[in-house]
Structure 1
């Protein structure tokens, strides 16, 4: 079994090229959009959490420092206004700490809350007049500032890491998007180059085949494999060359007078029908009294008559609307018609009608009036010859009833001799079946 070779058509190849390019470009676009969306979410997280966290740590530090300053001034001046400032900054610290807890869940948050409680308790004792806890308050304030500084450093490190990750994500997104887009362009360009090369190579082969066929080498094979439009075109070229070869043979064999196919084409047509399964009829046509006409009117008028007879015979046969009908010119005043068995009788009648209508125009008025001409026959005997008529002998062959083309031609010629014995235009049809024949007028 021969291996199956799958070949894409040119349209399929072009669609594949555009599809690969489109898929890669779409993938690049989708990947880029996904990357941009991821970076957008990270930027939102920066703005919502990281930057806010850094800002809040600054606010916490400022609030605790403001509390220390207000408490210190209160220790010196003992004025209520400084306690009010202290309380205001306590509220600011607590509000900021509450907001900070929403975005930061680190371990140092609990330590900050514990240290601030100790600081606040000590400050309240100071406001109550117990100055002994001032060292405890200062120690708590230092611890709070230290924790806030550590949280701020931690947030800054996290922000730096996320910014670095974002940069890497951006670089990766851009590079991969460019790669996918470039890959699609390269692949589609490669397919386009291969298509152009294949197309140009095939066109070159077809061009060479055209030149070779034009030079008469009808058997030349362009060697283009089938499967695409170029392969189909090459197959059509080969069929065209075969047909041209047949037409050339027919042309070389054709009668130069009537341009109808000659003996070789007639024999080929009979062989083709013998190889088939459809009954057909071989009609042998002969113009009666043609020699006497040629002797009286000369070969130029006789040639014109033969040419016109071939034309009307051809028109009469093809007027029966049978594309496969065949009309050939054996030579001289002998013709052959090959037609389906069912239209044999209609063909004989149409031919006789056409020829009988044509013949009188080739005679002088005097000869037409007499209906005959005087002349010498082939034996040198002076006699009177009727106007030209046509005799048709048709041999109908059914599958398996006929032998070779030569046997058919011989049988038809013998039958023609019998028909010529009758005066005027006549025809007879013999149907060959199991060895016997029935003659039909």
Structure 2
């Protein structure tokens, strides 16, 4: 069931929207202040968020800005409610990442129609990976280009899951998707604890990227590898774990012993204009990732 988070300190509006949206078939989560809205947005993972601008503890503008900076909620559609009629107030919300604006007073069924339309539009337009719901190639390219044009120093982590294909072949695509979702959640948790801004993306089936201005890249890489190492053991059957390999078929049709999954990370460091184009950044990180993979996996290399 589609989940909608409503954040408004007016109890009458809470009750009205809860009644209206539940009758429309939505699962509704109600919050009364900005701090609760931010906290529950991360915990509840709603499909859409409705924010009142004027709330206690944190304004809707502040909540919107924080949600857009966090990879867990960066792509979640947001509708803002306001009694402020100035054009500049609407522009503020839009600049901070709100998708739509609705002035108070409003008809509850108009909001329901806006929600339905926005959900359909986002589903059609979003280029996020359909398995993990992380940003896809289009957003990754935009993020790298934005940092390059601003002359920022940053690092691109290119993370490849080694021997994922044999796992998929042995246990099936559903099990593979479950593993990818779990690894994506691991990455979200790692980047969410930092005060620095992170951008998290999913390029192909088993390739993920992190873009960050955080300079402590080795600590981040070690956290990823440590967390990854706890995942495969939970996915394999006991016999495969004991053997330490899976039987698979190579490109020539020969049966081979494929090792269990590991992770390889290549980290491209961008500074002082050493890389000019986003493709140069991606290719450098991929090359470093290949070098890490060739050392046996569960390694990272930066440069």
Answer yes or no: same fold by TM over 0.5.
Answer: yes
Contact 2:229 2:262 in 1 (8 A): yes
Over 3 Å counting, the alpha-carbon distance change for 1:268 and 1:243 in structure 2 is: farther
TM-score by length of 2: 0.61
Over 3 Å counting, the alpha-carbon distance change for 1:250 and 1:408 in structure 2 is: farther
Over 3 Å counting, the alpha-carbon distance change for 1:261 and 1:340 in structure 2 is: same
Match of 2:252 among 379, 395, 411: 379
- Provide the secondary structure at the position in 1 that maps to 2:156: strand
Q: Does residue 350 of structure 1 match 2:206?
A: no
Over 3 Å counting, the alpha-carbon distance change for 1:286 and 1:251 in structure 2 is: farther
- Provide the secondary structure at the position in 2 that maps to 1:402: coil
Match of 1:305 among 167, 175, 179: 179
Q: Deviations over 1:347-377 (max 9, x none)?
A: 1111111111111101011111222212112
Contact 1:250 1:262 in 2 (8 A): no
Over 3 Å counting, the alpha-carbon distance change for 1:238 and 1:318 in structure 2 is: closer
Gaps of 5+ in 1: 1-227, 431-441
Determine the C-alpha separation between the residues in 2 that align with 1:425 and 1:251. 35
Match of 2:269 among 380, 393, 396: 396
- Residue equivalent to 1:232: 88
Alignment of 1:219-298 (within 5 A): 230-239=86-95, 243-244=98-99, 248=122, 252-298=126-172
Q: CA deviation at 1:335?
A: 0.5
Match of 1:359 among 215, 227, 232: 232
Contact 1:274 1:399 in 2 (8 A): no
Alignment of 1:104-119 (within 5 A): none
Determine the C-alpha separation between the residues in 2 that align with 1:404 and 1:417. 20
Determine the C-alpha separation between the residues in 2 that align with 1:390 and 1:407. 22
Over 3 Å counting, the alpha-carbon distance change for 1:229 and 1:416 in structure 2 is: same
Q: CA deviation at 1:235?
A: 2.3
TM-score by length of 1: 0.43
Alignment of 1:95-110 (within 5 A): none
Q: CA deviation at 1:403?
A: 1.2
- Residue equivalent to 1:69: none
- Provide the secondary structure at the position in 2 that maps to 1:342: coil
Q: Deviations over 1:57-77 (max 9, x none)?
A: xxxxxxxxxxxxxxxxxxxxx
Q: CA RMSD in A?
A: 2.3
Gaps of 5+ in 2: 1-83, 101-120
- Provide the secondary structure at the position in 2 that maps to 1:420: helix
Q: Deviations over 1:193-234 (max 9, x none)?
A: xxxxxxxxxxxxxxxxxxxxxxxxxxxxxxxxxxx9624323
Q: CA deviation at 1:297?
A: 0.8
Determine the C-alpha separation between the residues in 1 that align with 2:201 and 2:124. 10
- Residue equivalent to 1:421: 294
- Residue equivalent to 2:204: 331
- Provide the secondary structure at the position in 2 that maps to 1:255: coil
Q: CA deviation at 1:399?
A: 2.9
Q: Which runs of 4+ in 1 moved over 3 A?
A: 247-251
Count how many residue pairs are aligned between Structure 1 and Structure 2.
Answer: 200
Q: Deviations over 1:231-275 (max 9, x none)?
A: 4323235436x6539x94996110110010000000011011112
More strand by share: 2
Contact 2:291 2:301 in 1 (8 A): no
